[in-house]
Amino acid sequence: MSYLEKYHFWLENEYFDEPAKAELRALSGNKEEIKDRFYKDLEFGTGGLRGKIAMGTNRMNIYTVSRTTEGLANYLLEESPKDPHSLTPQNYLDRGVVIAYDCRHKSREFAETVALVLNANNIKTFLFEDIRPTPELSFTVRYLHAIVGIVITASHNPPEYNGYKIYGSDGGQIIPEIADKIIYHINQIKDYSLIKKIELFTATKKGLFNIIGSEIDQVYLQKVKELTIRDGDDLDKSIKIVYTPLHGAGNIPIRMILKERGFTNVFVVEEQTHPDPNFSTVESPNPENPAAFELAIQLGQKVNAEILIATDPDSDRIGLAVKNNPHHGEEHPFLSLRGSETTEAISSNIKSVEQSSHPSGIDSRFRGNDIEDSGNDTNLSLRAPVGSEAIPSVIARNDNDEAISTHNNQYTVLNGNQVGVLLLHYILSSKKELSQLPTNGFIVKTIVTSDMSRVIADSFGVETYETLTGFKFICHQVKVIEEKEKKSFLFGYEESIGYLAGDFVRDKDAVIASMLICEMAAYYHKKGLNLLQVLEDLYKKYGYYEEDQHSIYLEGQEGEKKIAEIMEVFRKDLPQIKNMEIVRINDILIGKSYHPKSLTLKTTSLDLPLSNVLKIVFSDGSWYCLRPSGTEPKIKLYLSFQAKTKKEALQKLHHVKEAIFKKMNSIIKPV
């Protein structure tokens, strides 16, 4: 059917209720909106659904959620006879599906819809009584030996979005091979009226619909607490900490775990403690975005807090800000404004955005600029992230690279790579000192995460594994290594502020990370150090690493073609950069790593799933990586450069980035 035929079908078919039809009737005459809502089905990606909440086949609503769940149910019914651990198919289905949700619009309604569709297929469900962190869902799947977990969340997306993520029986997000099987079953459902239904009362009476209360919370938090490395006299538990859950699910569990650990000065941003689907106090509930820390910074100044932590709505990711040390001097590695350095115009077709109001660590070069299609001319322009206007009381640098202090108590927001190496070094060094470091330990990171972690791990005799971007790949790798090689997982992280320790959760976990971050800060505070000083010491010991990322937005069918062309051109003709020798080209689309001079010279196979990713490695170990997004009309550029000094690393990064943008611009808007 055409999009208009689908639209009229929804208007006329008795399966769709009157409120749905009323919403659709209000669109009459708005062909563009009707087309956008019905020109395709909302795509089920490798992790699940994500989209705007509204009526239509290309939106999140009870009908698209029901269709997806019916497809999942059919997949589970097909798999049930194959399970070697179940005596009968029904034994398998009775292990059930755990369902969690966050504070977003329609989350509870969607969660109940999911449960009842599964119940109608005779599959038992366990629904949390209220909002819970996504990592607790992962834990509960493992703890209850469930067959699947589902969480209704759109993570840190804007308020008008919601989503649907599926987890396997190991508690990890499903990998592409499983997603493909589920997608097949979803696509077989052409008629919404064939989706099975059951009333809540009936499902409850049959024992199919079950509610999970606080009993799981206590078990989960106890497991988190058992990850304690240092305690007692090693820590200054009077350290002042500010926490904001950004209106999300982290509020109760994170405050509880910090209280149980004995931290006595935890100050919470009260305006952001209550669940709010509109995230009214922030432009974006994303702790990777410096603007999300605005209220935390204000409270931090008031109470003179040492660190500020913020978690996203489903509490799987965590951001960290650290009070700047006034005695550490101008050479501190985080007091240089990256805005003026990184938003420099690369060519006449690339326009810069002034970001001189931002400190290093909270501006474009730590957080990544967005580059978007500038209308009909298809020019590239650097675009500041949402909510990146000036925040009071942070450090800024002017064009002369001089620090400008706007308040006595300033804070620097660290990026995911920096928090990751701080946590990694703390975990490994502490375990070694306490004779707890296993001889067969390993860590896992993504291919776009800083290589500084590998250098640190090597220094402790710990092996590093790499995966594609996404925590589902990190946790799948952990599962494979633990099962096949019997090694001990120590830590996993990615540059987009996701971290994991322990063996009882199979996703990034902001509850675990919050406890370890506060423990780490308290340990160093007892020694008279703050985390910025510790990070500077790590740079001096292991080398300076400068990371950057940009998103190039190219929308529509023409933009899709340009993204494909960029990848094709870079595969055939890389920009040549003076004094930067390329030694490896890792083309993950073909699964090969080869020398730039010849496909047959020193070619090796990459132990990664095939994906449209291209990574260019230089002789000094620096690299850049290109990766089209699978969910948005953009291509992402990641850069990582290392040197003995910060200045040298920055110079390399700018030099290479200029050449890349020049090449991209010639493709997007040829002369």
> How far is it, in rounded angstroms, from Cα 470 to Cα 442?
18
> How far is it, in rounded angstroms, from Cα 549 to Cα 251?
30
Place of tokens 């291509």: 635
What letter represents residue 410's amino acid? Q
Other CB atoms within 10 A of residue 494 CB: 25
What token pair was written down for 461? 């005799």
DSSP string across 487-538 = -EEEEEEETTTEEE-SSS--S--HHHHHHHHHHHHHHHHHTT--HHHHHHHH
Cross-strand pairs, 212: 128
Pairing, β 125-128 against β 209-212: parallel
Q: Is residue 96 a contact partner of residue 125, using CB atoms and an 8 Å limit?
A: yes
Identify each DSSP E strand in 35-177 by its residue range: 48-52, 97-101, 125-128, 148-152, 161-167
Place of tokens 């040549």: 576
Does the active-site annotation cover 393? Answer: no
Other CB atoms within 10 A of residue 482 CB: 14
First to last CA, the chain: 41
Identify each DSSP E strand in 20-146 by its residue range: 48-52, 97-101, 125-128
Other CB atoms within 10 A of residue 105 CB: 16
Catalytic residue among 66, 155, 340, 514: 155
> How far is it, in rounded angstroms, from Cα 140 to Cα 147?
11
Residues 6+ apart with CB under 8 A from 234: 523, 526
Cross-strand pairs, 413: 321
Nearest to 419 by CA among 362, 347, 493, 530: 493
Three-state DSSP class for residue 66: helix
Other CB atoms within 10 A of residue 27 CB: 18
Radius of gyration of the chain (CA): 25
Place of tokens 């240092």: 230
Which of the residues are catalytic?
A: 155
